Structure 1
Amino acid sequence: MSELPVGVERRDIGGETGLATQGPPAYGEPTDEEGWRRWNPRRSKLGAMLASGMDTGLAGGETVLYLGAAAGTTVSHVADFSGPTYAVEFAPRPVRDLLDVAEERDRLFPLLKDARNPETYAHVVEPVDAIVQDVATRGQAEVALANREFLRDDGRLLMAVKARSEDVTADPEAVFDDVVGTLSEGYEILERERLEPYHTDHLGVVARPR
């Protein structure tokens, strides 16, 4: 079991022990009297990677580019223990919720942009220590390759691959192999692991830029 980043702990909240970060509630998650809030791995691919013991390389305090932030469920936890956190989401409706989450987090910067077009936010995002990607679209590897320019040479890509977003009819393991193969054009794959039982037909990938 790899070490958790500083700012992420396993705590008993509401009679259940699991991952938690310390910060303002964001989506109705259980909290304790010390301001810790439960990070449910069934609602978070990165949470599932950490709960599964994958070595994400996160220590706490990193600058992060989060691709596919949606309404902010996972990225709110990331911003609790990281440094500046750039949250990219292309759908206007969830971005409204993301803006509410960011109001109480001065390190979280929402960007209404499409992760497939990083040139549209290249003037805003500084070099980052980690890219967290949870983008449910065809061409997930291509998104990671396109955003590689932001990642420091010693940084990490933490990616959740959703098989059904690539091909709903194909065998998930074959899809994972194809995505990882394309990803290898720009990244060295350090670890890959299925995210069951937390998420069906998802693969967690840890990689670093070549």
Structure 2
Amino acid sequence: MSDLPAGVARRDIDGETGLATQGPPAYGEPTDEAGWRRWNPRRSKLGAMLASGMDTGLTGGETALYLGAAAGTTVSHVADFAGPTYAVEFAPRPVRDLLDVAEERDRLFPLLKDARKPETYAHVVEPVDAIVQDVATRGQAEVALANREFLREDGRLLMAVKARSEDVTADPEVVFDAVVETLSEGYEILERARLEPYHADHLGVVARPR
């Protein structure tokens, strides 16, 4: 089992032991009296990667770029243990919830932008130590390649590949191989692993820029 980043711990909350971070609740998750809140890996691809023991390379305090932030479920946990965290989300409705989450987190910066067009937020985002990607769209590898410019030389890409977003009819392993092959044009793949039992037909990928 890989080491967890500083600021992430395994805690017993409501009689169940699991990952937790310290911060205000964001989506109705259970908390304890010390301010820890459960990080549910079934609602978070990054949480599933950590719970599965993948070596994410995260140590805590990183500057992060989160692509596909949605309403803020996972990125709220990231902002609890990371440094400045830029949260890119394309859909206006979830961004309204994301803004509420950010109100209680001074390190979380929501951006109503399209992750496929990094030039639209390049003037805002500083170089980052980690890119976390959970974008449910065709061309997931291309999104990661387009955003590679933000990643420091020794940084990490932590990516969840959703097979059904690429091709709903193809065998997921075939899809994963194709995505990873494209991703390899700009990244060195350090680890890949299926995210079952937490998420069906998803692959977790840890990579660093070439």
Q: TM-score range by the shorter chain?
A: over 0.9
What secondary structure is seen at the aligned counterpart in 2 of 1:50?
helix
Task: Show CA shifts across 1:108-143 (max 9, x none).
Answer: 000000000000000000000000000000000000
Q: Distance in 1 between matches of 2:47 and 2:2?
A: 13
Which consecutive segments of 4 or more residues in structure 1 shift more than 2 A? Answer: none
Alignment partner, residue 140 of structure 2: 140
Report Cα offsets for 1:15-40 as digits up to 9, x if no partner.
00000000001010000000000000
Q: How far 1:6 moved relative to its partner?
A: 0.1
**Cα distance per residue 1:153-207 (max 9 Å; x no partner):** 0000000000000000000000000000000000000000000000000000000
* Partner of residue 8, structure 1: 8
2:85 corresponds to 1:97: no
Q: Quick one: distance in 2 between partners of 1:183 and 1:125?
A: 22
Q: Percent identity?
A: 93
Q: How many angstroms does 1:96 deviate by? A: 0.1
1:48 counterpart residue number: 48
1:122-141 equivalence runs, <5 A: 122-141=122-141
Gaps in structure 2 of 5+ consecutive residues: none
Q: Distance in 2 between matches of 1:12 and 1:181?
A: 40
Matched position secondary structure for 2:141: helix
> 1:82 offset after TM fit, Å?
0.2
Aligned length: 210
Q: State TM-score, norm by structure 2.
A: 1.00
With normalisation by structure 1, the TM-score equals 1.00
| Helix, strand or coil at the partner of 1:206 | strand
- Measured on the aligned residues, the alpha-carbon RMSD in Å equals 0.2
